[in-house]
């Protein structure tokens, strides 16, 4: 399959997702204003520009949206409209939960649960009847225990509300609740938290977001989470895996800008009902985690290392 145009083919997973699929054959949206694309445009004379353009900027990857995005309805609406205008499906990440990242490198988020509910309602409404893939709140369930008991219930309520908003206002969106990675939570714990967060009304869950775990490890874990969901709730859900930086697997437990990592399988949707149903570049390769540079900032040296696996 062409690396520059990852085909988004018709899926048929009613046994997993509990509903007829809503996506039609199209392609995943390649953002001409991604961080890699902007850097390549602005540094056309840099010897790394062509390497970064062809290997990163021309690949489908997710657009992260949060408290830096301005009026969220306009930001989402403009982005989804740009994709729809060329019959492509965008990948979006909602990353604005209160208490985001437990105050670490990506700290921030909405100021209150009420504020978050308004924000995510506007987000879902802006997607509307268009197609989109939405990754919902990376780390929110994995970091649940950094909150007080009341804070945990507030977060779960906010996530349930978010899923409900997409279910009602954006019926063609594929929504995946983040479930951490294969080294974070036991599968039964992940399944329990997903259920409490409303996964019954979502397409499924996302794994390995911004991490480096191998495809094999993520599949084993995803299947275990589904087995736990089946045991606990009587249903399974589809799952997707972030492959943006897992080409060489992890460097032990180091997650923050580790050296020697490599880009993985470019974004693709799989036929046949197997799992994972999508491998996606959810983290933007070349964007720092917060150790080599400010979290979210594109660094060409990181990008070059990921492309070459050095």
Q: E strands within 152-277?
A: 173-178, 204-207, 238-242, 268-269
The answer to whether residue 188 is catalytic is no
Half-sphere exposure for 168 (CA within 13 Å, toward CB): 9
Q: What are φ and ψ of residue 106, in 5° steps? A: -105, 35
Q: How many angstroms from the chain centroid is the CA of residue 182?
A: 16
Respond yes or no: is residue 139 known to be catalytic. Answer: yes
Paired with 207 in beta bridges are: 241
Which one is catalytic: 31, 139, 178, 257?
A: 139
Q: Which of 31, 178, 257, 289 is an active site residue?
A: 289
Structure-token match 């961080």, residue found: 35
Burial of 2 (0-12, 13-18, 19+ CB in 10 A): exposed
**Rounded alpha-carbon distances, angstroms, from residue 217 to 143, 214, 233, 277:** 21, 5, 24, 15
289 as an active site residue: the answer is yes
Q: Find the catalytic residue in 31, 101, 242, 257.
A: 101
Assign 176 to helix, strand or coil: strand
Residue 125 burial by CB count (10 A; 0-12/13-18/19+): exposed, middle or buried?
A: middle
The residues assigned a catalytic role are 101, 139, 289
């Amino acid at each position: 399959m062409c690396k520059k145009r990852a085909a988004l083919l018709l899926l048929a997973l009613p046994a997993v997702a509990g509903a007829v699929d809503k996506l039609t054959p199209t392609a995943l949206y390649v953002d001409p204003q991604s961080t890699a694309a902007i850097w390549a445009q602005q540094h056309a004379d840099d010897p790394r520009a062509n390497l970064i353009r062809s290997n990163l900027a021309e690949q489908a990857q997710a657009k992260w949206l949060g408290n830096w995005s301005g009026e969220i309805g306009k930001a989402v609406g403009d982005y989804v409209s740009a994709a729809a205008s060329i019959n492509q499906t965008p990948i979006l990440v909602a990353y604005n939960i209160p208490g985001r990242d437990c105050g670490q490198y990506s700290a921030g988020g909405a100021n209150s649960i009420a504020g978050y509910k308004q924000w995510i309602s506007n987000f879902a409404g802006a997607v509307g009847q268009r197609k989109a893939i939405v990754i919902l709140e990376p780390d929110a369930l994995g970091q649940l225990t950094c909150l007080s008991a009341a804070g945990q219930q507030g977060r779960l309520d906010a996530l349930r509300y978010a899923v409900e908003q997409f279910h009602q206002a954006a019926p063609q969106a594929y929504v995946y609740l983040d479930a951490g990675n294969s080294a974070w939570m036991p599968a039964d714990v992940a399944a329990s938290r997903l259920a409490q967060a409303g996964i019954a009304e979502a397409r499924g869950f996302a794994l390995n977001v911004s991490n480096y775990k191998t495809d094999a490890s993520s599949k084993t874990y995803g299947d275990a989470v589904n087995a736990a969901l089946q045991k606990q709730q009587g249903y399974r859900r589809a799952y997707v895996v972030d492959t943006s930086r897992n080409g060489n697997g992890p460097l032990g437990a180091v997650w923050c800008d580790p050296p020697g990592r490599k880009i993985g399988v470019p974004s693709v949707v799989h036929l046949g009902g197997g799992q994972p149903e999508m491998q996606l570049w959810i983290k933007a390769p070349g964007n720092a985690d917060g150790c080599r540079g400010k979290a979210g900032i594109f660094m060409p040296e990181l990008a070059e290392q990921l492309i070459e696996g050095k």
